[in-house]
Amino acid sequence: MNSAAPLRMFNLLYFALLALFIPFLPVFLDDQGLSPSQIGFIVGTGGFITILAQPLWGMISDRTKTIRKVVLFLLVGATIAGYFLFNSTSYGMLILFAMLVYFFLMPIDPLTESLNFRVSEGMGISYGSIRTYGALGYGVMSLITGYFMSYFGAYSLALLFAGIGICCFIINLRIPDAPVTAKPVTVDGLKNFLSNRETLLFLVLVFISSVPARMNDTFLGVYIRELGGSTELVGQSFFLAAGSEIIVFALSFWWLRPGKELLIVSISGAFYFMRFFLSAWITDPHLLAYIQVLQLLTFPVFYSAAIQYLYRIVPEEWRATGQTVLALLFFGVSSIIASYVGGAVYEAFGGKTLYLSLSAMSFVGMLFGLLLYRIYGKRHSDQSISAE
Triad 69, 113, 131: Cα angle to 5°: 120
User: Could you count the other beta carbons within 10 Å of the beta carbon of residue 34?
Assistant: 18
Q: What is the pLDDT of residue 189?
A: 57
pLDDT average, residue stretch 206-218:
90
- Per the CB < 8 A criterion, the answer to whether 65 and 317 are in contact is no
Output the average pLDDT for the chain: 85
Q: Is 248 exposed, middle or buried (0-12, 13-18, 19+ CB in 10 A)?
A: buried
Start-to-end C-alpha separation, the chain: 33
pLDDT average, residue stretch 335-355:
90
Q: What is the pLDDT of residue 386?
A: 47
- Total length of the chain: 388
Q: What is the pLDDT of residue 316?
A: 66
pLDDT band at 216 (very low <50, low <70, confident <90, very high): very high
pLDDT average, residue stretch 55-66:
82
Selection from 345, 344, 340, 347 nearest residue 43 by Cα = 340
- Per the CB < 8 A criterion, the answer to whether 177 and 280 are in contact is no
Least confident stretch, 194-198, 258-262, 322-326:
322-326
- Per the CB < 8 A criterion, the answer to whether 51 and 325 are in contact is no
Q: What is the pLDDT of residue 379?
A: 63
Q: What's the sign of the alpha-carbon dihedral 101, 103, 105, 106?
A: positive
pLDDT band at 48 (very low <50, low <70, confident <90, very high): confident
Domains of the chain are 5-387 (1.20.1250.20)
Please spell the DSSP secondary structure of 317-349, one letter per residue.
GGHHHHHHHHHIIIIIIHHHHHHHHHHHHHHHH
Taking the C-alpha atoms of residue 48 and residue 331, their distance in angstroms, rounded to an integer, is 10
Taking the C-alpha atoms of residue 25 and residue 31, their distance in angstroms, rounded to an integer, is 10
Q: What is the pLDDT of residue 385?
A: 43
Q: What is the pLDDT of residue 77?
A: 97
Q: What is the pLDDT of residue 378?
A: 62
Q: What is the pLDDT of residue 387?
A: 45
pLDDT average, residue stretch 127-133:
82
Q: What are phi and psi of 259, to 5 degrees?
A: 90, -10
Taking the C-alpha atoms of residue 325 and residue 38, their distance in angstroms, rounded to an integer, is 27
One-letter amino acid of 388: E
Q: How far is CA 135 from the centre of its chain?
A: 11
Q: What is the pLDDT of residue 315?
A: 66
Predicted confidence (pLDDT) at residue 2 exceeds the cutoff of 70:
no
Taking the C-alpha atoms of residue 68 and residue 176, their distance in angstroms, rounded to an integer, is 8
pTM of the predicted structure, to 2 decimals:
0.74
Selection from 252, 216, 237 nearest residue 362 by Cα = 216
Q: What is the pLDDT of residue 186?
A: 53
pLDDT band at 29 (very low <50, low <70, confident <90, very high): very high
pLDDT band at 1 (very low <50, low <70, confident <90, very high): very low
Selection from 371, 114, 386 nearest residue 262 by Cα = 371
CA dihedral 190, 196, 200, 205 (to 10 degrees): -120
Q: What is the pLDDT of residue 60?
A: 86
pLDDT band at 217 (very low <50, low <70, confident <90, very high): confident
- Per the CB < 8 A criterion, the answer to whether 29 and 90 are in contact is no
Share of the chain above pLDDT 70, in %: 89
Residue predicted with more confidence, 377 or 261: 261
Predicted confidence (pLDDT) at residue 358 exceeds the cutoff of 60:
yes
- Per the CB < 8 A criterion, the answer to whether 102 and 328 are in contact is no
Q: What is the pLDDT of residues 76-116, one digit of tens each?
A: 999 999 999 999 989 999 999 999 999 999 989 888 887 88
Least confident stretch, 57-66, 77-86, 151-160, 270-279:
57-66
Predicted confidence (pLDDT) at residue 183 exceeds the cutoff of 60:
no
Predicted confidence (pLDDT) at residue 12 exceeds the cutoff of 80:
yes
Q: What is the pLDDT of residues 276-331, one digit of tens each?
A: 999 999 999 999 999 999 988 998 899 888 888 887 777 666 665 666 677 677 77
